[in-house]
Structure 1
């Protein structure tokens, strides 16, 4: 089952088991909607007890974890949710985990490669596509260059301009 990363645990905070977390969601208040999360590498569910929003990060604690010694093991780990806790996204909005792994084709149906990563570059995202020779192609995610995403077919359609794909 594909898990979705919603946060990364940066460090502990204080002595009472609080964790400093960076949100990987476009919507920080997302954590209030979650009753529990998973932590990468652990099979149990972690129930969120308290959440405090700060300027650059979020402080949160889990039920039953009340001391720094109990939570230090989580530093550097990702916080994950399963498909049952996903939010319904607005039209033409996608989860990064759904895009990575898709095959990329031009509008002329030429195979370009697979989407291997997505980076934020200013207001837009940039899709990183690797071809059969492991060469990277960078495509800004705007309608002009990515007119279609066909999740059911496992592909994206790219409309490159001259010089975009060398």
Structure 2
């Protein structure tokens, strides 16, 4: 992916027969996706401009300049759209772009290495940080101040306070 690009939306299935598409916006204000100017594909090879947008149930319905038919819209299903980072507003304190977190080292509060941050998810109940250890399954932890008390972008790491017990784990001590 070209450096300095941030994914701000994903095109979904067509909507109607005139080339409109469903669009999942990843910006705090879903309509802000149209404020950043032309959106580009991951490889930078294609560029899209939003001609119009309206709110739907859990997404936007947009028309893109140059996309006039359902067939053209169908070919765009699943395409992620990016903007140059410098077009996005600066983050507030304790606010981060997911792209800034991906790849950071994850360490415990004692300084022991846990792995690398590979994704940030949100399935509707809050952000989840996914950490890939050097071996074994990934860890999915709540991205809260209690579990992730420190994000140090300059040092390239997040500090993780592991919960005492994760549901499904076998406790180290038998219940009396």
Report TM bin, short chain.
Answer: 0.7 to 0.9
1:161 to partner: Cα distance = 3.5
Report deviation, 1:67.
2.5
Higher mean C-alpha deviation, range 42-51 or range 102-111: 42-51
Aligned to 1:83: 85
Deviation by residue 1:31-86 (Cα, 9 ceiling, x = unmatched): 23122101345613212211111122211122233223333321121122221222
Provide the rounded CA distance (Å) in 2 between the counterparts of 1:42 and 1:69. Answer: 22
Counting only pairs closer than 5 Å after superposition, residues 109-148 of structure 1 correspond to structure 2 as 109-148=111-150
Aligned residue for 1:71, secondary structure, equals helix
SS of structure 2 residue aligned to 1:60: strand
- The structure 1 residue matched to 2:24, chosen from 22, 30, 41, is 22
**2:67 alignment counterpart:** 65
Whether the 8 Å contact between 2:11 and 2:77 is mirrored in structure 1 is: yes
What do you get for the CA RMSD once the two structures are aligned? 2.2
Q: Distance in 1 between matches of 2:15 and 2:137?
A: 42
Q: How many residues align?
A: 166
Which structure shows the higher strand fraction?
1
Instruction: Determine if contact 2:6/2:83 at 8 Å carries over to the other structure.
Output: yes
* 2:34 alignment partner in structure 1: 32
Q: Unaligned regions of 5+ residues in structure 1, if any?
A: none
CA distance in 1, matches of 2:138, 2:7: 24
Q: Give 3-state SS (helix, strand or coil) of 2:154's partner.
A: helix
Decide whether the 8 Å contact of 1:104 with 1:115 is kept in 2. Answer: yes
- Give yes or no for contact 1:105–1:158 (8 Å, CA) kept in 2: yes
**Corresponding residue for 2:173?**
none
Q: Where has structure 1 moved over 4 Å in runs of 4 or more? A: none
Q: Secondary structure at the match of 1:74?
A: coil
Give me the whole-angstrom Cα distance separating, in 2, the residues matched to 1:135 and 1:6.
28
